[in-house]
Structure formats: C-alpha cells, structure tokens
Amino acid sequence: MKKKVRFGLVGCGRISKRHILSIKRNPCAELVAICDIDKEKLKRTQREYNIKEAYTKFEDLINDKAIDVINICTPSGIHPQMVIESIKKGKHVLCEKPLSLNYLEGVKAADISKKKNRHLFVCFQNRYNEPIVYLKEVLKNGGLGKILVITATVRWYRDDAYYSDWHGSRDMGGGILFNQAVHYVDMLLYLMNKKPKSVFCERKTLGHNIKIDDAAVVSIIFQDNSIGLIEASTLSYPKNMEGSITLQCEKGTVKIGGEALNEIIYWEGKNKPTRAIGSKIENVYGESHSKVIENIVNVLLKKSRPFCSGKESLKVIELIEKAYESSIKSKRLLLK
C-alpha cells in the first residue's frame, strides 16, 4: 500500500472543515484524530466525518504516535504555544494564519522547527489561487515590469456578535490587520517580493464596541521606493464588499478580487491571460486548502519544497507589528 501522511487536527471550528475535507479528498493523506476542548463540537465533528480518535486534551493529540502532522485551527493567540509543543513531540505542523500575534513568538516557533528539523507550514492558501499563480509567474519573468504601487483593499462587514468571542480580543484575535487583512498583507508582500523600508499606519475602532481596531490604513515604502497601500475594515455594512489586490506596474495594471482573490477584475497592458483564469467563489476562505495539504504531502513523501514556511510568514508579522507600533507612536517607522 502507498504510504500516507497522517494528520491530527486541533480546533473543530469554522475553518476546520476546509482542512478535514482537503485531507479526506487526498489519497495520500489520512485524518487520524481531532481535538477540541468543546466536547459537543468534538463528538459532532467525529461523527460527521467518521474520524477514528477524538481528544479533549491537546496533550493527548500530540502524544498520539500515529500522527505525522498537527493542523492548528484554534484561535490565533494560542498558535505559537501549540506549534512549539507539537514540534517538541516530533510532529510537523500546519498552522492556520497568522503564525503568531507578535514577532518574537513567531521567531521562537520558526526557530524550533529549524532546530528540531520539523516542517512548519503556514496556511496562506490564497497563494495557490489560479489568478495569483499566473500573476506571480508573469511578475517573476518581468512581464509587467516593476511594480510601482500595490494596494490591498479589505472592505468586509462583521457584526457585534462576531466580535463577542476571541475575535474581539487583542491577545487572541489581534485586530483588523492580524485577523481579517492578514491574507491580503501576505499577498501584497508575496507579489511585491521586495523588502519594506518603512511603514506608517493609522488604526481606529469605529463601528463596534470592542477593545481592538476595526479599521486601518497603512502606507509602506519599499527599498526601491515603490509604494504599498493597505485599506482594511470590517465596516462595510451590511456585507463584505471587496477583498482585492491591485498592482500598478510599468507595463500594466491588474486587479485581482472576488470573494477570496479568485477573480481577475481587470488586466490591462502586457501579458493578459489568453484563456479564462479563476472562477467565482461564494466564500471568503476560497478553495485552496486542498493545495496546501497537497504541498505538505509532497514535501513529506516526495521531498518537494514547502510553499509557505513559518520563517517566510514572519515577514507578514514583522510588518503588521511595526505598523501597529507606528500607529501608537503616530510616526513613520523604519524596518530592519
């Protein structure tokens, strides 16, 4: 029989279904166990997906010898601690976004994965979306020239109920940039592929009774003096209106949007795709978690390269952390 990569998942909430279905659909992957502190949710998930083991204690999950990879789908503030404990038990890890809500904790997690020779993957699944893969290749080959201005726009709506759990907490959710906009911040840096030189940010809490921000604007200057802009909020009453990334380049202007960066909104100038690329998708998670699982399987069974490692995802955390510091100091700050 073909060897399979064996997964164990912690956190049976909203995003877990994407992981579970992606593992179940991959012939080289197997979901061995799940874990949640909420017993009812745990049992329901176990029944629904016919999963062998179900643990209420994380410790039991990471001590399960039948597991190769731990999928971390818990509130963001617990990610680094769970990553570190899993790696110490010899597991590889797929951590949901973001790896951490502060840079130093993220560094600790990435360092231990290196030291213990265990892979740490971070779930930025939108990088696999067809329009993004195409655009990245064109940029790599110089097909649009230099990016002059790159803009990430997140105009989403979240009601007060959404913020009543961990999403409303600085220590667990982190605010607009760490939580809702993080995929778009990652995409901006991923497509730009240059080091940010400085950042200025303003953040506000405008539409919810919460202690974290629900709106932010950020300007970034890159080493080559090109500009990055982020505008993000959860204030687009009554529904999500836009999540997009727009590039103004020397040889063309491109906007990718849709619910989860799945659609080309416009592509003017050079190297416009000659066939239809991307599709309309009805949810903000997109459909690329299956590609993340496929990459892990390929890395562990066939020695492919990890698509997004913990170390790589630190760039995003470093930028957001500096942006937050800039908003507190009301000052443009330099990055190292």
Ligand X SMILES: NC(=O)c1ccc[n+]([C@@H]2O[C@H](COP(=O)([O-])OP(=O)(O)OC[C@H]3O[C@@H](n4cnc5c(N)ncnc54)[C@H](O)[C@@H]3O)[C@@H](O)[C@H]2O)c1
Q: Which parts of this chain interact with ligand X (CB under 6 A)?
A: 10-16, 35-38, 41, 58, 73-76, 78, 96-97, 123, 125, 179, 285
Comparing CB distances to ligand X, the nearer of 11 and 252 is: 11
CA distance 263 to 286: 11
For 210-238, give one letter per residue: b (16+ CB within 10 A) or e. Answer: bebbbbbbbbbbbeeebebebbbbbbeee
CA distance 249 to 190: 15
User: Least Å distance between CB 36 and ligand X?
Assistant: 4
What the block records as the tokens of 171 is 């220590």
Comparing CB distances to ligand X, the nearer of 19 and 208 is: 19
Cα 259 to chain centroid, rounded = 15
Amino acid at 259: E
User: Least Å distance between CB 90 and ligand X?
Assistant: 20
At 9 the three-state DSSP class reads: strand
Angle, helices 182-192/310-329, rounded to nearest 10 degrees: 110
Cα 175 to chain centroid, rounded = 14
Comparing CB distances to ligand X, the nearer of 261 and 297 is: 261
Comparing CB distances to ligand X, the nearer of 37 and 301 is: 37
Comparing CB distances to ligand X, the nearer of 15 and 133 is: 15
User: Least Å distance between CB 85 and ligand X?
Assistant: 11
User: Least Å distance between CB 242 and ligand X?
Assistant: 16
CA distance 130 to 289: 13
Comparing CB distances to ligand X, the nearer of 179 and 326 is: 179
User: Least Å distance between CB 58 and ligand X?
Assistant: 5
Q: Which of 48, 13, 55 is CA-nearest to residue 34?
A: 55
User: Least Å distance between CB 210 and ligand X?
Assistant: 16
Contacting residues for 123 by C-beta, under 8 A, at least 6 apart: 94, 95, 96, 97, 289, 292, 308
Tell me, letter by letter, the H, E, C secondary structure of 33-101: EEECCCHHHHHHHHHHHCCCEEECCHHHHHCCCCCCEEEECCCHHHHHHHHHHHHHCCCEEEEECCCCC
Sign of CA dihedral 240, 257, 97, 199: negative
CA distance 34 to 12: 8
User: Least Å distance between CB 74 and ligand X?
Assistant: 4
User: Least Å distance between CB 330 and ligand X?
Assistant: 28
User: Least Å distance between CB 211 and ligand X?
Assistant: 18
Residue nearest to ligand X (CB): 13
Comparing CB distances to ligand X, the nearer of 180 and 327 is: 180
CA distance 134 to 149: 19
Comparing CB distances to ligand X, the nearer of 37 and 148 is: 37
Comparing CB distances to ligand X, the nearer of 53 and 202 is: 53
